[in-house]
Amino acid sequence: MTVPVIAGVGTAHPPSADQQELWERFFSRHYSGATRALAERIFANSGVTRRQAAVSPLIEDVSDWPTERRMRRYQVEALPLGKEAVGRALTSAGLDAGDVGLFVVCSCTGYATPGLDILLARDLGMSPTTQRMFVGHMGCYAALPGLGAASDFVVSRGRPALLLCAELTSLHLQPSSARVDTQQIVSHALFSDAAVAAVIVPDGRGYAVREVTSVTDTSTADHMTWDVTDTGFRMGLSPKVPQVLSTHVRGLVEDLLARHGAMVSGVDGWAVHPGGPRILNVVERELELPPTGLAASRATLDEHGNCSSPTVLLILDRLLRAAPSPRRVVMLAFGPGLTLYAVLLERHV
């Protein structure tokens, strides 16, 4: 049976800014009164030191822009970022754009038709017969069902597939308010921009995608939302999210590993989406991981913030560039639903 293998990963980032500088030069004036004091504490405890923004509030304030203007800017900024990430991934895998049989694009921060999938396929020289799939509004876990769809295509068609996750959360800065809105403050303190691409090939060298699995707790559907408003997309993020994850994450991971004759102790690489420090703490506790188990996830949060769907791929890229690289990797990501996705990867030579 054909084995789908991640043969190359490519990343792209817009300009970086220091978290403290963002607070002092912009967000400290974005809030007032008691809200300002709360926001300062949240920023300080975010686990983020630096993050990236295609549209930096230090240069231009988009908080009062209408959604239409934000969507037009999305197309301008996302296209070159996506092109850079895809180019690096294809080079890493030793393939040309014309080799791609399926192009999967994940994004929840911008929409346009023709979309990134069509424009990038055109600009990069993909074949007119390349199939495309756009995954929208799944949020932070979208990379993993995207990886699943790409892997299924590779197995069934025996041709390479390409996955791109591109998010510009900086375009969804919300208007300032004197009202205490902890969910918006957390969103402003954590989120960042990035594009990451991965090439999946049949039976190559890299990391085999052994299984993609998920669980959704629809009783908590209101805990995480991403609403389209007249001033961009607005995040809703309940403080109960870590509690829901604690209920489901161990069973999800143990069942996945058991189907492949493995246990948590046999995993030497963890790529866990850092929705925030509390999320990582819950996963570490529930899986009884050693203090170094989520080092790559914490380092990614520290250097890049929460980039939504590309983040788990950023962590994977960090793990794969480590020396020595891990033999077995579990990827975990979480989002609206509440939904938990898990992927098992194993080194394939």
Q: What is the DSSP string of 162-231?
A: EEEEEEEGGGGPPPP-SS--HHHHHHHHHB-EEEEEEEEEES-SEEEEEEEEEEE-GGGGGGEEEEEETT
Look at the alpha carbons of 183, 185, 186, 188 in this order and tell me if their dihedral is positive or negative. Answer: positive
Q: Strand 328-335 to strand 269-272: parallel, antiparallel, or no bridges (unpaired)?
A: parallel
108 is catalytic: no
Q: What angle do CA 112, 76, 71 make, to 5 degrees?
A: 40
Q: Does residue 187 contact residue 127 with C-beta atoms inside 8 Å?
A: no
Residue 30's Cα: distance from chain center in Å? 26
Peptide bond into 326 cis (omega under 30): no
Q: In this structure, which amino acid lies at residue 13? A: H
Catalytic pick from 106, 108, 140, 165?
A: 140
Rg value, the chain, Cα: 19
Distances (CA, A) of 346 to 5, 62, 88, 192: 9, 43, 22, 29
Catalytic residues: 140
